[in-house]
Structure 1
Amino acid sequence: MDFTELTAGRIAAGVRDGRFSAAAVVEAHLDRIAEVNPRVNAVTVVFDEKARTAAAALDDRIAAGEEPGPLAGVPITVKENIDLTWSATTSGLPFAAGHVPAADATFVGRLLAAGAIPVGRGNMPDIGLRWDTDNDLFGRTRNPWDPDRVPGGSSGGDAVAVATGMAAAGLGNDYGGSLRLPAHAAGIVALRPSAGRVTAPGHAVEPVPLSLQHMAVNGPLARSVADLDLIFGVMHGADDHDPLSVTVEHPSGYDGPRRVAVTVDPAGWGEVDAEVAAAVRAAAGALAAAGWEVDEVEPPAVDRCATIWRQLSSTENAPMLLTPGVFPGPLSAGTVRYFKDNIVDVELLDTSAAYQGAWAERFVHAAAWRRFHSRYPIVLGPVTTQPMPEIGYDLSGPAATTALWRAHRLLVTANFLGLPAVAVPTGLSGRRPLGVQVIARQHGDHIALAAARDIEAAFPAVTPIRPA
């Protein structure tokens, strides 16, 4: 049996009932990392001995008759900006290479207590501010399907690790599509939870920009929607460190209205790749066949939601990144170049009235989406309207950064509104993964997962993949 091809759910079930050991599972994944990672550079730190020790301890507990937890023996990766005491939380920054946290992030601790075993750290762009995965500390992560194209970002390392069988699941975060975009590029699934459902990536208490407070979330990547559901069921819920975290019941299924609003060209901006459009319509057909009522209808104000997301994120990050002495250390030349190009076409909210007005307008659009979701519990559309770009495209000038943002308009709309969304693949075109995303109402994470599960059932799995 090749343990690296098993889903998290199958691994946990096998370890729990004694069909195989956690030690064997971990060893197989460490072997896979040794084989594959030199080609893709997705895993930055490999926890060889710590993972083996944790697996042996878990096997001993099972032999003693103890309850091992719902994620028994599941190998995971943890993104470089999420606190795990096994190694430094670097965010891809060379000057943070020694920043080992004093405690695990709450949701990481929950997964460890449930039996999950970290096998490595996932790569990312420094501080997560590119739709690519490259930094000066660990270098570039390669797309396993096409090494000439980016793997997406910023959770690109974890997505590639899961897609290539180096881990059964990964932990990342999503401020502007950073879970869903790399999952889409890798041909796997990812859940962007509702804002507040998963706690902060660490216990440090410091000033946090409003856009990060309301638009950034932590969540899982995996190779099946059932695994997303399983992992989210363990990691969600409030703690005493994150004042924005909430505990909301996570139902095991969904038995409410089954209506879907399909948008092939969000906001009507055009520039939709033909295969992207076909993937959205194929997913709509899968939902219809599964009993969902499907209408091709536009959700509200995607143009304004995407525009204000870009204005707020750019306005809040500009002083930190571009003012000398504000950020505590140097950023990579690529991140600085990308951000400088990105803000050329952005009307920054550089007055108090403009900034306050943008947040006030967010309330109007959130209310419109709440009404829309009362009619259509699911919005189905593209993750990105264009194929993943070739390496270097995002550094080719302001026009490229604007084109990327336009392609990701529905992606960032979910961030702007704090809504849950699942990226799910719909097959391949040659060696290009195709896929879609489904967006549900706030705290309707279970609804998004239910729709994603019905889409997934209609298409063959495309991972794990051995990189070219």
Structure 2
Amino acid sequence: MAKAPIWQWSAVKTARAIRKGKVSAEEVVHSHVDRMKAVNPKLNAVVVDLSKDAIKAARAADKARASGEEIGALHGVPVTIKINLDVKGQANSNGVPAFKDNIAPDDSAVTANLRKAGAIIIGLTNTPEFSMRGFTDNPLHGLTLNPWDPKITCGGSSGGAGASVAAGIGAIAHGNDIGGSLRWPAFCNGVATIKPTQGRIPAFNPTQLKGDERPLMAQFMSSQGPIARSVEDVALGLEVMAMRDPRDPWWVPAPLKGPKLKGPIKVAFAKIPRDMKGDTKVISLVRTAADHLANAGYDVHEVELPDLDGTWKLWSDLIFTELTVLQEATMRQHGSADFITAIESMKGTSTVLDREGYMKAIARRTRVLRNWMLFLEEYPVILSPLSVRKTPSFNADLESPERGRSLFWNDLRFMSAINVLGLPAAVVPVGLLGGTPIGVQLIASRYREDLCLKAAEAIEERAGTLVETLWARG
């Protein structure tokens, strides 16, 4: 059997091999850089090539190890960063031409944590304008393609992250998620991720100091996180990214593993709302994931989730009220015609609230979250679809206003509802349908990412990882 090239190794295996001296960091980085040069011209997933700096950093990493210095959990491991996160000396453009010279004076909290752990940044990945579409295209860097099929979307807004790590560029990709921007690209590209609890991973961009802070609910609904090819690598990425940074006042020093639950753990297998128009073959694969959990010893029950529709609507109303009041003018000034069309479609699902309505909605969020947490006391893990349909075309949200609205309300209702709650949610692939990946979502209570990842791992052990199939295609 042929030996797998280094770029196909997991982050865990790569870090271990470097630590034991079986391979040098420079060899590892060269392997990933060569892979990037081979596949990225077609994908356009990495839009800022940092390979020259990465090779220098790899040489420094090898010298540090040789001299006996203490090394971190990702020492020498290649990673990518999404272009909406600050990397010192690079532009945080957020996919907007007007921001192409928005040079970061210092590293973001996540970038700093990755560097502390010894990770080596080989490139910055693409995002849609303002990171506010589920489809990755912008006038500054162009369209990112899905490595499985160029006709379907790679997702968004961390679409470049999902496409790059699936294609073998970097062992772990950074992304972030305010409405599904980690989980949707993981689904589309056949890889794994975790949207952590709000406060788990510190969030701060030094470029924020040039203007106002993000709106309150945007802060509470957004999470930074890792995308990787296996659940084990996602867990490692989470551990590294979650280190303290005093620049984020919302960071919480919660343990990464909570108290062990008495087994068997009850799983709520989410019923599909009657008005959701789904693909029966997609739903069948979600049922397969439920069977995998049952075979792994989980106690699976098919039940309705607590007011999924109302929870999703609360997310939509809050995020688009803040966007309309504080961000829309800038977006209309600097955004492309396609971006404005997409935003208007998404806004069509929301009610832009007045001052009293906004304050009441924030207050109502506490009650909604309480009801979900009580539900999670009985069912510590929820299994749901991430999408009830196959991955759509690369610009499906521009096909018509109706299609743009239905994508988030119908196809992805289980996804964006979780953001308003700030709960952790993992995505793991469960199989292929027509040659393209399908994943499922696993939700747990606050700071119980370990429960999400353990259940995701149980599915992965039975379904396998999918990227080997992609790589075998050449």
Q: Is the pair's TM-score, using the shorter chain for normalization, greater than 0.5?
A: yes
> SS of 1:412's equivalent?
helix
Shift of 1:207: 2.8
Is the contact between residue 271 and residue 303 of structure 2 (CA under 8 Å) also seen in structure 1?
Answer: no
Amino acid at match of 1:307: K
Shift of 1:391: 2.6
> SS of 2:168's equivalent?
coil
Give the equivalent residue in structure 2 for 1:332.
Answer: 336
Paired residue for 1:180, among 175, 179, 183?
183
Q: After alignment, is 456-465 or 414-423 more displaced?
A: 456-465
Paired residue for 1:20, among 23, 38, 41?
23
Matched, 1:462 2:462: no
Paired residue for 1:82, among 72, 85, 90?
85
Matched, 1:43 2:50: no
Matched, 1:285 2:291: yes
Shift of 1:398: 2.1
Amino acid at match of 1:316: E
Deviations 1:117-169 (A, max 9, x none): 11100100011111100001100000111111111100000110000001111
Give the equivalent residue in structure 2 for 1:443.
Answer: 447
Call closer, same or farther: CA 1:363–1:387 in 2, change over 3 Å. Answer: same
Is the contact between residue 83 and residue 92 of structure 2 (CA under 8 Å) also seen in structure 1?
Answer: yes
> SS of 1:458's equivalent?
helix
Q: After alignment, is 379-388 or 201-210 more displaced?
A: 201-210
Percent identity between the two aligned chains: 36
Paired residue for 1:260, among 239, 262, 267?
267
Give the equivalent residue in structure 1 for 2:277.
Answer: 271
Q: After alignment, is 304-313 or 92-101 more displaced?
A: 92-101
Matched, 1:113 2:116: yes
Shift of 1:320: 4.2
Shift of 1:246: 1.3
- 1:315-464 superposed matches below 5 A: 315-323=321-329, 326=330, 330-349=334-353, 351-406=354-409, 407-464=411-468
Distance 1:155 1:315 in 2: 23
How many residue pairs get aligned? The number is: 464
Distance 2:48 2:331 in 1: 25
Shift of 1:327: 5.1
Call closer, same or farther: CA 1:105–1:345 in 2, change over 3 Å. Answer: closer
Is the contact between residue 95 and residue 140 of structure 2 (CA under 8 Å) also seen in structure 1?
Answer: yes
Call closer, same or farther: CA 1:264–1:277 in 2, change over 3 Å. Answer: farther
Q: After alignment, is 240-249 or 30-39 more displaced?
A: 240-249
Call closer, same or farther: CA 1:113–1:322 in 2, change over 3 Å. Answer: closer
> SS of 1:107's equivalent?
helix
Shift of 1:255: 4.5
> SS of 1:449's equivalent?
helix
Call closer, same or farther: CA 1:254–1:46 in 2, change over 3 Å. Answer: farther
Give the equivalent residue in structure 2 for 1:154.
Answer: 157
Matched, 1:211 2:217: yes
Matched, 1:10 2:13: yes
Give the equivalent residue in structure 2 for 1:135.
Answer: 138
**TM-score of the superposed pair, with normalisation by structure 2:** 0.94
Deviations 1:10-31 (A, max 9, x none): 0000000011111011001101
Is the contact between residue 254 and residue 450 of structure 1 (CA under 8 Å) also seen in structure 2?
Answer: no
Give the equivalent residue in structure 2 for 1:230.
Answer: 236
Q: After alignment, is 280-289 or 229-238 more displaced?
A: 229-238
Shift of 1:213: 1.3
Amino acid at match of 2:421: L
Distance 1:161 1:201 in 2: 24
- 1:296-315 superposed matches below 5 A: 296-315=302-321
> Structure 1: which 5+ residue stretches go unaligned?
none
Shift of 1:275: 2.0
Amino acid at match of 1:293: D
Deviations 1:243-282 (A, max 9, x none): 21211111289555511000141x4433121122112111
Is the contact between residue 76 and residue 117 of structure 1 (CA under 8 Å) also seen in structure 2?
Answer: yes
Amino acid at match of 1:85: K
Give the equivalent residue in structure 2 for 1:103.
Answer: 106
Deviations 1:365-412 (A, max 9, x none): 111111000000100011111111113220123211221112111111
Give the equivalent residue in structure 1 for 2:147.
Answer: 144
Distance 2:253 2:56 in 1: 33
Is the contact between residue 159 and residue 221 of structure 1 (CA under 8 Å) also seen in structure 2?
Answer: yes
Deviations 1:288-343 (A, max 9, x none): 111110000111010001111111111111234543xx459511222111112222
Is the contact between residue 383 and residue 437 of structure 1 (CA under 8 Å) also seen in structure 2?
Answer: yes
Is the contact between residue 237 and residue 248 of structure 1 (CA under 8 Å) also seen in structure 2?
Answer: no
Shift of 1:347: 2.2
Amino acid at match of 1:17: K
Distance 1:429 1:371 in 2: 35
Deviations 1:411-436 (A, max 9, x none): 11110100000000012123210110
Shift of 1:96: 1.6
Amino acid at match of 1:405: F
Amino acid at match of 2:343: F
Call closer, same or farther: CA 1:109–1:3 in 2, change over 3 Å. Answer: same
Q: After alignment, is 165-174 or 389-398 more displaced?
A: 389-398
Call closer, same or farther: CA 1:378–1:252 in 2, change over 3 Å. Answer: closer
Is the contact between residue 379 and residue 438 of structure 1 (CA under 8 Å) also seen in structure 2?
Answer: yes
Call closer, same or farther: CA 1:256–1:154 in 2, change over 3 Å. Answer: farther
Distance 2:400 2:361 in 1: 27
Distance 2:327 2:344 in 1: 9
- 1:184-199 superposed matches below 5 A: 184-199=187-202
Distance 1:237 1:109 in 2: 10
Shift of 1:239: 2.4
Is the contact between residue 135 and residue 395 of structure 2 (CA under 8 Å) also seen in structure 1?
Answer: no
